[in-house]
Structure 1
Amino acid sequence: MILPPAPLAAVGPDGQPRFGRYQGLAGAPGWDKLNPPHARGALWRRLHHKRWHFVALVTDEVFCGVAIVDVGWSNTAFAYVFDRAQRSVVAAVSPLGVAGLTAKVGATVAEGARFMVPGRRIAIEADGAHGHRLRLEAGRFRINAAYAGAGPRLLAIGPVFDGGSVHSTQKSPGLALQGWLEAGGRRYKLDGGVASYDFSNGLLGRCTAWRWISAHGLNIGFNLQAGYFGDAENALWVDGALIPLGALAVDIAADGGWALRTSDGLLELHFTPEGTRNDDKQLLVASSRMRQHVGRFDGWVRAAPDAPRRAITGLAGLAEDYRARW
C-alpha cells in the first residue's frame, strides 16, 4: 500500500481534520480552524495544546534521547545518554521551564525546537532539506550532532481518545548520523550511527497514556503505539518504502521483555531491555511518569501478508511506558 502525499494542513477548508496516514512533511496543522464536532474554545486549546520534538541518537556504544516539550501552560525538556556496554545512564538532565519564556516547539518539524534555562541549552535546527542539527550544552554533558536522509516521513492525523480532540504526528525513518557527544567523562563518536525523530502536535486530554516503541536502522525500522492515538501512527520502513501497520498487541513478561505483534500479521518482535531511563515529574496541578526502556529487538517483519519475512536481529531502540495528567 502506497500512502498518499501529506496535505499542507491537517484541517481542511471545511474545518474537518484530514484523518489518515500520509507520506511526507506537512505544514502547521491549523487547529484553530476546526469546526464541530472537533472544535474547542481558545482557552481549552491553550490548556490542551501539546507539542514535542524528540530525537534518538543510536550507535553500537550509546543510546541518547533528547526531547523538548511544550504543554501550553508550561514547558520542559529532557536528555540522557545510556552507555550500552555499561548498561547504565551516564548523563541526564530534565529541567522545567516557564511558559512562553524558556522553550519553543515549532508548528512544523522543519521549524525545530529550542529550550534554554541557566546552565541548560538545547537547540534542534533544520539543516538542509532533509536534515537537522542538534546541539546541547549542560555543563560537561554536550552534544553536537547532525542527521539527514531523504527517506519517506510518516504523517498521521487522527482523533484522540481519553478526552482530547485531534492529534498529528510526524515520524522519520532511520537517518544517517554524524557528530559527537560528551557524557560521563568521555567523548563518544556518533559517526556511522542512526538518528530518528518524533514531532507531535495535538489537542490532548487531561489524562494521557501510551506505550511507544521505536527502532531504526538505515534500511529498516518501525514505529508502534498503543494508547491515546490508537493505531494511527503504526508504520514500517523497509528499503525506502513506508508501510502502514495494524493495531499493536503488547505482552510484557515478568523478566521485562516485551512481545509485540500487529493485527495484520506484518510484524512479530521481542524486545529485550538493556536498561531504563526513569523520569517522573510531580507538580501542583500536573504529574508525569515515564519509563523509557532501551534495548534490542529480535524477530521479523514483512512488507505484505504474502511477502517473505525479513529478519530483525539486535536492532537497537526503545520501548516507552508513559502516563501524564497535564
Structure 2
Amino acid sequence: MPPAPTAIPDPDGHPRFGRFAGATAAIDWTRLAAPYARSAPWRHFHHKRWQYVALATEEVFCGIAIVDLGWTSTAFAYAFDRVLRAEVAGYSQNGLPGMGARVASHANGDSAFRWPGSRIHYGAVDGQYRLALRCCGFEIDAAFAATDAPLLLAVGPVAGGAVHATQKSPGMPLAGEVRCAGRRYRLDGGVASFDYSNGLLARDTAWQWASAHSLALGFNLQAGYFGEHENALWLDGRLIPLGAARFDYDRARPLAPWHVHTDDGLLDLQFTPEGARREDKNLLVAASRYIQPIGHFSGWVKAAPGAAPRRVERLAGVTEDHYSRW
C-alpha cells in the first residue's frame, strides 16, 4: 500500500480515496472541495467520529468506545469474562449537545468522555497509547505500544453521505489491569487494537464488522456502508488489502457460529461466539440497534492468492451487526 498522506483532504480540497499504510496527522472535512463539499449545517448533523479500543487476553475482553455524533455524543465500555462467558461490567451513557464526548481529529490525538461520576480518557504520545476509565466501580488502566506493523488508513465515498476516513491498528502488546465486580484482571501479555473513524455519513447507516488480532496476525473486515475500503490483513508485520467481506450468520441467533470470508480467497474463518454485548436505543430523533458477539476465530488466511494458507486457531475477537439512524 502507498504511504498515508499527511492530511485529508489534500491542499486543493480533494480527498485521496484509497487504502494507505500509516497514520495521517489531520482530517478536516471543512476543507472539502466540490463535489463532496457540504454546508456547515449539513456537516453538523452528519459528521460522526468515534474512537474504539479492544483489549484482549485469554481471560477477559474489553471494548471501549467514545462517540461524537455532531449533535450529541455517547460512550460505552464493557468487560467480558471469557472463562465465565459473561459480561462482568458494563457502562453506557449518552451525552448532551456540546457536552460529554471529545473525539480527536486524527487517530493519534486525545479523546475523552466525561459525565458526573464517570470519565474515560484515551491518548497517544510517541507511539505509546494509554486508556484510563473510571465509571461507577468499573476501572481500566491500560497501556500499549505501537509496533513496526503499519496502521491502515482507508478513505472513500459514502452513499447518502459524502466521505469517510478510518484508521485501524494491528495488534499491539498490552499491559495494565481491569477492576470490576470485586475482581482484578491482569492485561499484561494481552493484545490491544483500535478503530478510529471520522466521516460525513448518511442518516441511515448499517454495517457488519469483524476484528481480531494477535501480535503476528490480525484482520479488519466490514460489509455495509463503506464497502471493502477498510478490509485488511496484518501478517508478520505486513499490511495486505482484502476484497469484499461476506458475513454468513443468523441474525435471529447471533450466538450461533458465523462464517466470515472474503471474495478474493485470502481469508476464510469460522467465528464461535462466547457471549455478546447488545444495546438498542431509541432517542426519538435517532435510534440504534447493536450487537457485538465476543468469541474466537479459526480457519485460515493467505498473504496472496498463490500462497500457502496460514492456520488461525482460536484468535480472540469480535463480530458486530449494527444499524444507526443518526
Band of TM-score, shorter chain:
over 0.9
2: CA distance between counterparts of 1:116 and 1:280? 22
Structure-1 separation of matches of 2:112 and 2:135: 14
Aligned AA for 1:301?
V
Counterparts of 1:214 and 1:184, CA distance in 2: 27
2:277 paired with 1:277: yes
The match for 2:54 among 47, 53, 56 is: 56
CA–CA distance in structure 2, aligned partners of residues 158 and 294 of structure 1: 28
Residue 292 of structure 1 and its aligned partner are, at CA, apart by 0.5
Cα offset, 1:212, TM superposition: 0.7
Matched, 1:197 2:194: yes
Q: Does 1:148 align with 2:145?
A: yes
Q: For the residues of structure 1 that align with 2:58 and 2:249, how far apart are their CA atoms?
A: 25
Partner of 2:40: 42
- Indicate conservation of the 8 Å contact 1:140/1:185, yes or no: no
Q: Which residue of 1 aligns with 2:25?
A: 27
Q: Shift of the alpha carbon at 1:178?
A: 0.1
Cα displacement string for residues 4-28 of structure 1 (whole angstroms, at most 9, x for unaligned residues): 0000122123322100000000022
Partner Cα separation in structure 2 for residue 301 and residue 112 of structure 1: 34
- 1 CA distance for matches of 2:8 and 2:224? 21
TM-score normalised to structure 1 length: 0.97
Tell me, in whole angstroms, the C-alpha distance in 2 between the residues paired with 1:80 and 1:185.
Answer: 15
What is aligned with 1:227? 224
In 2, are the aligned partners of 1:271 and 1:296 still within 8 Å (CA)?
yes
- Following superposition of structure 1 onto structure 2, how do residues 311-326 of structure 1 map, counting pairs within 5 Å? 311-326=311-326
Q: How many Å separate the matches in 1 of 2:282 and 2:200?
A: 22
Give the corresponding residue for 2:268. 268
Provide the alpha-carbon RMSD of the alignment. Answer: 1.0
Deviations 1:140-176 (A, max 9, x none): 2100000112221000000112x11100000000000
Determine the C-alpha separation between the residues in 1 that align with 2:62 and 2:36. Answer: 36
Q: Is the 8 A contact 2:52 2:194 kept in 1?
A: yes
Q: Is the 8 A contact 2:151 2:168 kept in 1?
A: yes
2:260 and 2:136 mapped to 1: Cα distance?
39
Which deviates more, 9-18 or 264-273? Answer: 9-18
Corresponding position of 2:167: 170
Which residue of structure 2 lines up, in the alignment, with residue 71 of structure 1? Answer: 69
Give, in whole Å, the separation in 2 of the partners of 1:207 and 1:72: 15
Rounded to whole Å, the distance in 2 between the matches of 1:101 and 1:83 is: 32
Match of 1:85, SS state, is coil
Secondary structure of the 2:108 match is helix
1:238 partner amino acid: L
Q: CA deviation at 1:98?
A: 1.5
Per-residue deviation, 1:138: 1.3
Query: SS at the partner of 1:109?
Result: coil
- Give the stretch that moved more between structures: 29-38 or 227-236: 29-38
Q: CA deviation at 1:134?
A: 0.3
1:82 Cα deviation after fit: 0.4
Displacement after TM superposition at 1:283 (Å)? 0.5
Deviations 1:208-227 (A, max 9, x none): 00001000000000000000
- What is the alpha-carbon distance in structure 2 between the residues aligned to residue 65 and residue 270 of structure 1? 21
Instruction: Tell me which amino acid in the other structure corresponds to 1:96.
Output: N
C-alpha contact (below 8 Å) 1:280/1:290 kept by paired residues: yes
Question: In the alignment, is residue 294 of structure 1 matched against residue 294 of structure 2?
Answer: yes
The amino acid that maps onto 1:259 is H
2:314 counterpart letter in structure 1: G
- Counterpart amino acid of residue 56 in structure 1: A
Q: Which runs of 5+ in 2 are unaligned?
A: none
Number of corresponding residues: 322
TM normalised by structure 2 equals: 0.97
For residues 175-200 of structure 1, the C-alpha deviation after alignment (integer angstroms, 9 at most, x for no partner) is: 00000011222000000000000000
Worse overlay, 253-262 or 78-87 = 253-262
Asked whether 1:242 is paired with 2:239, we answer: yes
- Which amino acid is 1:55 matched to? V
How far off is 1:100 after superposition?
1.7
Q: Deviations over 1:203-256 (max 9, x none)?
A: 000000000100000000000000000000000000000000000111115662
For the Cα contact (< 8 Å) 2:73–2:99, is it kept in 1? no
